[in-house]
Amino acid sequence: MITSKGYAVHSATDKLAPWSFERRAVGENDVQIEILYCGICHSDIHQVRSEWGPAKYPMVPGHEIVGKIVKVGFGVKKFKAGDLAGIGCMVDSCRECGQCKNGYEQFCVQGAVWTYNSLERDGVTLTFGGYSNNIVCDEAFVLKVSEKLPLKAVAPLLCAGITTYSPLRKWKIGKGHKVGIVGLGGLGHMAVKFAASFGAEVTVLSTSPYKEADALKLGAHKFCLTKDKEQTKALTNYFDFIVDTVSAVHNYDIYLAMLKPNGAHICVGIPTEAIQIRPFSIIPNKYIGGSSIGGIPETQEMLDYCAEHNIVSDVEVIPISYVNEAYERVIKSDVKYRFVIDLATLD
Ligand code: NAP
Ligand code: ZN
Ligand code: ZN
């Protein structure tokens, strides 16, 4: 076994605090990564607090992991010690079902093994995430990370990046499309960067007036303050697509009114309560659906695209001792635009 240090919670009301635990020894197809940076995703907060239903404790959160490979099993082909590597939301799946074979491991019929708050395929061993100094993972779920980009700003690509890249690619969003991005947070700011890079006209739909200048700097063409009825009315039937990254319960009808007939509203944000929609908001051939992270091949494609086009996340690097305060600030939308933990600060 390998000894790991990290930050954990032991119940839904706990604060994150230092904790030691064990990971499996490096097996034939495993790599061991020394974790250097890990992003803080709003999903970490939802899960730490059991907001999506009862979670598994003790929990070491973190699924935006980057670091350096320190050890490889004798069967490992893709990596060698010293390589940079990343791990996102999944660490295993059955690899045999149609979903896995088509590169949609997140929809594995036997259930994907999530990076934390999940059980390994043995059905008993808890997984522990990236707010820690090391991780052991089968190379099939480890991503190659370019040396060209600043590593701390690459970490959020492993979740916020792929979660926004994937629906934009699936719907072939680009030149000639008008796209609205709801919520300028960790996911939202990556959605803006990707949609602009793919050639779409991008509008940020935000509740925070002070984010307008940043939205334009990040690549958006327009900004709409959604609390202002005049501004939303001016965008009636305007968008071909809306990507909704909002983490909290919100009104969908406002955004559906801004969608053109035959347009699609894609939900990636996961509020904690059921969605309510007025039927007449979707009857004019308007579609609402969702998107879940992205499979391993597409995550690698996204990382390669970012290296080629120099796309990274805007980050605030923090020591791990600041993590509980960082959570409170994420909830208040007070982060530009992703907190990333520097694991060198773990003692
Ligand atoms: P985040 O950084 O907190 O960003 C969420 C943004 O939503 C905020 O910056 C804010 O933007 C907006 N917002 C917050 N409260 C709102 C409210 N009451 N009404 C309207 N807008 C509000 O969170 P994140 O890390 O980007 O994650 C966003 C959501 O996506 C979370 O629910 C997370 O669990 C989920 N998620 C889903 C997937 C997936 O696979 N589908 C993957 C990762 C994360 P403005 O200030 O601009 O309004
Ligand atoms: Zn995430
Ligand atoms: Zn499968």
Percent of the chain with pLDDT over 70: 100
List, for residues 315-338, the tens digit of each pLDDT value.
999 999 999 999 999 999 999 999
Q: Average pLDDT, whole number, for the chain?
A: 98
List, for residues 40-85, the tens digit of each pLDDT value.
999 999 999 999 999 999 999 999 999 999 999 999 999 999 999 9
Asked whether 90 and 141 are in contact (CB, 8 A), the reply is yes
| pLDDT of residue 161 exceeding 90 | yes
Cα(209) to ligand 1 centroid in Å equals 16
Please report the pLDDT score of residue 346 as a whole number. Answer: 97
Counting other chains too, the contacts that 106-113 makes at CB distance below 8 Å and 24 or more residues apart are 106/292, 106/293, 106/294, 106/295, 107/292
List, for residues 110-126, the tens digit of each pLDDT value.
999 999 999 999 999 99
Cα(64) to ligand 2 centroid in Å equals 7
Please report the pLDDT score of residue 347 as a whole number. Answer: 84
DSSP state of 142: -
Counting other chains too, the contacts that 341-344 makes at CB distance below 8 Å and 24 or more residues apart are 341/37, 341/38, 341/39, 341/40, 341/62, 341/131, 341/317, 342/36, 342/37, 342/152, 342/317, 342/318, 343/35, 343/36, 343/37, 343/38, 343/67, 343/132, 343/133, 344/36
Ligand 1 atom 32: residue of nearest CA? 247
How many residues would you count in the chain? 347
Ligand 1 atom 25: residue of nearest CA? 42
**Rounded to an integer, what distance in angstroms lies between the CA atom of residue 267 and that of residue 328?**
24
From 246, 275, 299, give the residue whose CB has the most ligand 1 atoms within 8 Å, as the site to mutate.
Answer: 246
Please report the pLDDT score of residue 343 as a whole number. Answer: 98
From 245, 249, 254, 255, give the residue whose CB has the most ligand 1 atoms within 8 Å, as the site to mutate.
Answer: 245
From 193, 247, 337, 340, give the residue whose CB has the most ligand 1 atoms within 8 Å, as the site to mutate.
Answer: 247
Mean pLDDT of 104-112: 98
Place of tokens 């690698």: 300
**Rounded to an integer, what distance in angstroms lies between the CA atom of residue 185 and that of residue 211?**
10
List, for residues 336-346, the tens digit of each pLDDT value.
999 999 999 99
**Rounded to an integer, what distance in angstroms lies between the CA atom of residue 69 and that of residue 81?**
5
**Rounded to an integer, what distance in angstroms lies between the CA atom of residue 171 and that of residue 168?**
6
Q: Interior CA angle at 231 toward 227 and 233, to 5°?
A: 105
Looking from the CA of residue 290, the nearest atom of ligand 1 is: 41
**Rounded to an integer, what distance in angstroms lies between the CA atom of residue 101 and that of residue 98?**
5
Structure tokens at 20: 């030691």
**Rounded to an integer, what distance in angstroms lies between the CA atom of residue 319 and that of residue 48?**
19
Mean pLDDT of 238-251: 97
Mean pLDDT of 183-198: 98
List, for residues 278-316, the tens digit of each pLDDT value.
999 999 999 999 999 999 999 999 999 999 999 999 999
Ligand 1 atom 19: residue of nearest CA? 250
**Rounded to an integer, what distance in angstroms lies between the CA atom of residue 274 and that of residue 182?**
18
User: In which band, very low, low, confident or very high, does the pLDDT at 150 lie, cut at 50, 70 and 90?
Assistant: very high
- The residues lining ligand 1, judged by C-beta closer than 6 Å to any ligand atom, are 41-43, 46, 159-160, 163, 183-188, 206-208, 211, 245-248, 250, 268-270, 291-293, 330, 333
pTM listed for this prediction = 0.98
